[in-house]
Amino acid sequence: MAFSWPSALRLAVGAALLTAAGVALFTLPVEKILKDFLVWIKENLGAWGPLVLALAYIPLTVLAVPASILTLGGGYLFGLPVGFVADSIGATIGATAAFLLGRTIGRPYVLSKCKDYPKFQAVAIAIQRSGFKIVLLLRLVPLLPFNMLNYLLSVTPVGIVEYMLASWLGMMPITLALVYVGTTLKDLSDVTHGWSEISTTRWVSN
């Protein structure tokens, strides 16, 4: 393949984002930062809290940092109805942001990673025939890591509207389950309990 500066730049951006995610997860106190963020929402934002919580999914999802703390926190802070709506919308816009990044400046890097996921080759072919159904099934039955799936789907022919709608519907069950668990917690410290080990393992598996 012939060298081109735009492709090289996009590849460099993708590598930089991956590096940033690794640095953030392994060196920064992500657990404490997210817990403090939830405390700040609780004590300062009032009715704006659900909106800010939803928007917080964007940087976490783009950087491939698991956002389960936010999902549990939504249930803890706002209860089932409001927490579920905020987390469901947040997860969808976060996944969409990663999708758009992968479809634009991050495309060369995503294509270079596709070879690491041989199962995805069959998925890409199936999406050409039934994009909405395949994306929905991939969200309901996570055969591939969630954060990487956002990027892998970006290099398929699936349309942005189909992707958003299928992702929103497909992520509802797990979002609802986590929000409900969040409503049963007694303290914000319970939201982050054991997150470090789980999130690190999930990121490495991506």
Residue pLDDT, tens place only, 73-129: 999 999 999 999 999 999 999 999 999 998 888 888 888 877 777 777 777 888 888
Note whether residue 197 is domain-resident.
no
Side chain identity at 5, as an amino acid letter? W
Residue 93, CA atoms < 13 Å, CB-side half-sphere:
15
Note whether residue 203 is domain-resident.
no
Note whether residue 184 is domain-resident.
yes
Note whether residue 44 is domain-resident.
yes
Q: Rounded CA gap, 136 and 118, in Å?
A: 20
Question: Could you tell me the pLDDT band of residue 197, with boundaries at 50, 70 and 90?
Answer: very low
User: How many separate domains does the chain show?
Assistant: 1
30's tokens: 């992500």
Note whether residue 68 is domain-resident.
yes
Note whether residue 20 is domain-resident.
no
Question: Could you tell me the pLDDT band of residue 52, with boundaries at 50, 70 and 90?
Answer: very high
pTM: 0.77
Q: Is 142 a residue whose pLDDT tops 50?
A: yes
Note whether residue 137 is domain-resident.
yes
Question: Per-residue DSSP letters for 29-69?
Answer: -HHHHHHHHHHHHHHHTGGGHHHHHHHHHHHHHHTT---HH
Asked whether 100 and 159 are in contact (CB, 8 A), the reply is no
Max Cα separation, the chain? 58
Note whether residue 33 is domain-resident.
yes
48 is in which domain, residue-wise? 28-190
